[in-house]
């Protein structure tokens, strides 16, 4: 999966979701460790102790991505170098943290892709009851994900897609990427994007039919830059 994703970006996949009529489940997270990630979601809800991660790793499959739901909290770090090292040893291909991390230098030294909302020195100062579904689902931003989902990450952030539709979305993303590359090459060669997408024709058609959208026009001229 990572090899296939290597020729794409999360932006391409987001546009593919739009074209396929799927929710675009993205969140803005920063890559603590450079690199890209692609794998099945291994969800976990953090309640203040690392034992929930260790339990999750008991069921990890090679290539899984540990997706940590810490409610987007910014008053504590919920994972650091030990969690990252254990994830790596369990065969996970990365960490996605809806919250903060710590031990940045040591995490970076491991080389495992890690995405989070930022860093903070202190770990949890609490221990809340663990819900029965703590290892079944994780809520990241407005999105709830499970092992039926795949997570993809790069420099632009994170996107979640249904595992059963990954190949379809990759195919669509390939087409979108190729269209955009050709458009970029043409711009650099002196043919403006407005000319390529026949923008003056769109303005004329919109004047006659105000309900016409730019996306509808793009579909008609096969110049999809927004999807």
- pTM of structure: 0.90
- Edge to edge, the sheet with strand 37-45 lists 25-27, 157-162, 149-154, 37-45, 65-69, 94-98, 114-116, 30-31
The pLDDT confidence band at residue 222, using thresholds 50, 70 and 90, is confident
Residue 73, marked binder? no
Average pLDDT over residues 44-54: 96
Residue 82, marked binder? yes
In the predicted structure, residue 96 carries a pLDDT above the cut 70: yes
Chain mean pLDDT for the chain: 94
Give the tens place of pLDDT for each residue, 97-153. 999 999 999 999 999 999 999 999 999 999 999 999 999 999 999 999 999 999 999
Res 83: pLDDT: 98
CA distance 172 to 192: 25
Rg (CA), the chain: 21
In the predicted structure, residue 221 carries a pLDDT above the cut 70: yes
The domains of the chain, with CATH numbers, are: 2-164 (3.50.30.40), 169-221 (no CATH)
The pLDDT confidence band at residue 34, using thresholds 50, 70 and 90, is confident
Least confident of 58-67, 72-81, 163-172, 173-182: 173-182
Res 33: pLDDT: 87
Q: What percent of the chain has pLDDT over 90?
A: 89
Res 179: pLDDT: 87
Residue 80, marked binder? yes
Res 218: pLDDT: 86
Average pLDDT over residues 1-10: 93
Res 225: pLDDT: 58
Burial class of residue 127 (count of CB atoms within 10 Å of its CB; 0-12, 13-18, 19+): exposed
Burial class of residue 210 (count of CB atoms within 10 Å of its CB; 0-12, 13-18, 19+): exposed
In the predicted structure, residue 227 carries a pLDDT above the cut 60: no
Average pLDDT over residues 190-214: 94
Give residues with Cβ within 8 angstroms of 89, minimum separation 6.
Answer: none
Hey, how many other C-beta atoms are within 10 angstroms of the C-beta on 137?
19
Backbone angles phi, psi at 145, to 5 degrees: -125, 155
Residue 81, marked binder? yes
């Amino acid at each position: 999966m990572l090899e296939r994703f290597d020729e794409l970006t999360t932006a391409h996949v987001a546009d593919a979701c739009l074209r396929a009529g799927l929710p675009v489940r993205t969140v803005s997270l920063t890559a603590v460790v450079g690199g890209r990630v692609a794998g099945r979601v291994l969800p976990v809800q953090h309640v203040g102790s690392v034992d929930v991660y260790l339990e999750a790793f008991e069921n990890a499959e090679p290539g899984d991505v540990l997706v940590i739901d810490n409610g987007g909290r910014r008053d504590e770090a919920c994972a650091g170098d030990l969690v990252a090292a254990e994830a790596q040893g369990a065969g996970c291909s990365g960490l996605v943290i809806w919250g903060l991390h710590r031990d940045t230098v040591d995490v970076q030294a491991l080389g495992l892709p890690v995405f989070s909302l930022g860093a903070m020195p202190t770990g949890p100062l609490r221990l809340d009851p663990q819900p029965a579904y703590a290892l079944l689902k994780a809520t990241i931003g407005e999105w709830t994900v499970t092992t039926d989902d795949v997570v993809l990450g790069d420099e632009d952030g994170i996107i979640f897609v249904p595992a059963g539709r990954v190949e379809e979305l990759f195919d669509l993303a390939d087409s979108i990427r190729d269209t955009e590359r050709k458009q970029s090459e043409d711009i650099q060669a002196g043919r403006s994007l407005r000319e390529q997408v026949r923008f003056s024709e769109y303005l004329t058609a919109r004047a006659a039919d105000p309900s016409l959208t730019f996306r509808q026009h793009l579909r008609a001229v096969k110049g999809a830059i927004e999807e």
